[in-house]
Chains A and B, each alone.
Chain A
């Protein structure tokens, strides 16, 4: 069966050059970078080399990069680390209703410990208004955390503006940039963010590695304490395979980002247009322009998205619906719910996210397979009357 992978916002395949780069660390280069002897020395340089590559991609100083295990760790570290590290100043933070669970549930967790969180709403496009953030600021606000781009809709948020507001009030600003890093050029100095979270497997590194940008001078406590690794901000023996991989992935991203975004963007446009043309009663969710070039969230009215996901999967096409629980059961998307979409739309919403390896043939195959499946499901739908 033909296999097409349109779920790059969930995870991405490992780039062949990344795979090549990590092979020595799966065999002869096994040392612990903290060791004094040859085995340690041999690998230590690779950690710093990778850190430089990461820093270069986002225009940071290498000393501002901390390697983590994943985006969730980064989000946890940013939120818990900043709030716990600034107790003198206050116990309040601001975020949005459409954050990833790594942010959202961390906030919920902290609320149990008497921290206070304001959740800023979104409009029907799923966009936030920076003014809403400004209005939510209090004397005791310590942190503002807003994602750079939303994983479900692909919406890109006005991070620079929000960061400016935070600065005006002396508030630390964190952005979960997991869906952006490696896809879009990003300059932390220009954005003027304090903390930025990224995850390797979203841009062709393996799972189990991420990084955190922490601007010099920003007060944040470690989530994992122990050894002296990562400037004592993240204890634990370095994940050499992951670190080398994410360094390489950053290097590749820097070189190819422009070309790739153009190519993938064109494929996505073609897919999106094709679907809208060939399937009646379809709507694009999210902002008309301010969206990631690779993401298309489409509502197929009068159907349950789950059925279409399953039918596409049976034809080898991998897409996704909103969120899934631990066992993989689909749950209603809280992101689409917060946009107050017509339930007919939110129930039938599928996310197509393209990336490395996708071809025009993939798009054509999907455009050929999908319309008859939608028609088949609609015929069985009690909501659909034609």
Chain B
């Protein structure tokens, strides 16, 4: 294999520094910026002209070729449509994971291979290292920044074609390196939100044609407590926006899209143990005897759980201690210590 690397550059400090590091390590680097989405009249988000220009200026500073590539159609089909349809199903999606799998590490990877790239690199905080002779994803050294969760869905065979040079660095070290490389993005503010959402995802869904449809808010026994204007406005564990007075704090426990119901209950009702995941992606066959560190959302700190196969592509997950807010549509990701074993999408809480 050669040493030509394509760095997916977003115009942020992480991907800028990624390009700088690889270049300084002697790789033959070129950068690409993906045009994914035209936000309406927005100058923020992931694919604005400002960001592509920042990426271009970084590339020029590093003296590497740089190209803007159009993935608008693919992004619409695989990320936006998925995002909208998940909310329609009463689930809470994670579009970044879909984007990584479908756009960055499939469409983009395939495209840049035709440009002669041997590897693709991004500014994700995660590591790829060999374990017993096979490449696996590992948590980043900087545990606060670790983004391996967002990558559980990568195809096993692509791992040998990906570089994540930030996995062993802290965010501070990355910014310091960006300063050393004199990159204009060194002090750029971080964007944490979903790139195509301007303010509130609910406005976006309405823009995408989801119609508000009145339904009931009920308690766990089915008693009607109030009405809502569309279950897509809610996510599991949500407290605000319910507009019902029951004299105590209540939380969304469950969404039943078929009946247009939002079920609420006490905080204690949010703590659950067992759930089903589907559309799994495992880098090795999980051991049903073993306790894996299990994350049910990006910000979840991870708790021990067992995984049992129910049928093809469907597994039962059982936490050792109940966890708050297990949410259908979110990804459930398993680790053996630092090593990412695989994961799946939460289908149903039992």
Q: Which A positions have Cβ atoms within 8 angstroms of B?
A: 303-304, 306-307, 310-311, 313-314, 325-331, 376-377, 380-381
Contact = CB atoms under 8 A, between A and B. Distances in A.
13 contacts: A303-B114, A306-B111, A307-B115, A310-B115, A311-B115, A314-B30, A314-B65, A325-B70, A326-B49, A327-B33, A327-B47, A327-B68, A376-B116
A330 B115 contact: no
Contact of A380 (B30, B47, B69, B114): B114
Interface residues of B, number: 18
Contacts of B116: 311, 314, 376
B35 interface: yes
B82 interface: no
A327 B115 contact: no
A373 to B, nearest CB: 9
Contacts of B67: 310, 313, 328
A263 to B, nearest CB: 31
Interface string B93-137: 000000000000000000101111000000000000000000000
Given A304-B114, A310-B67, 15 more contacts: A303-B114, A304-B111, A307-B111, A311-B115, A314-B116, A327-B49, A328-B56, A328-B68, A329-B35, A329-B68, A329-B70, A331-B70, A376-B116, A377-B114, A381-B114
Given A310-B115, A380-B113, A329 B69 contact: yes
B30 A328 contact: no
Nearest to B117: A310
B52 interface: yes
B224 to A, nearest CB: 49
A326 B68 CA distance: 10
Contact of B35 (A307, A314, A327, A376): A327
A329 B114 CA distance: 17
B39 to A, nearest CB: 13
Closest 8 pairs (CB-CB, A-B): A329-B70, A307-B114, A327-B52, A328-B68, A329-B68, A329-B35, A310-B115, A327-B68
Nearest to B67: A310
Nearest to A381: B114
A325 B47 CA distance: 13
A15 to B, nearest CB: 26
Contacts of B47: 327
A303 B56 CA distance: 26
Interface string B48-76: 01001100100000000101111000000
Interface string B21-56: 000000000100101000000000001010011001
Nearest to B71: A329
A325 B113 CA distance: 23
A338 B70 CA distance: 21
A304 B113 CA distance: 12
Contacts of B111: 304, 306-307
Contacts of A310: 30, 65, 67, 115
B69 A306 contact: yes
Nearest to B28: A314
Contacts of A326: 49
B65 A325 contact: no
B21 to A, nearest CB: 21
A163 to B, nearest CB: 38
A87 to B, nearest CB: 32
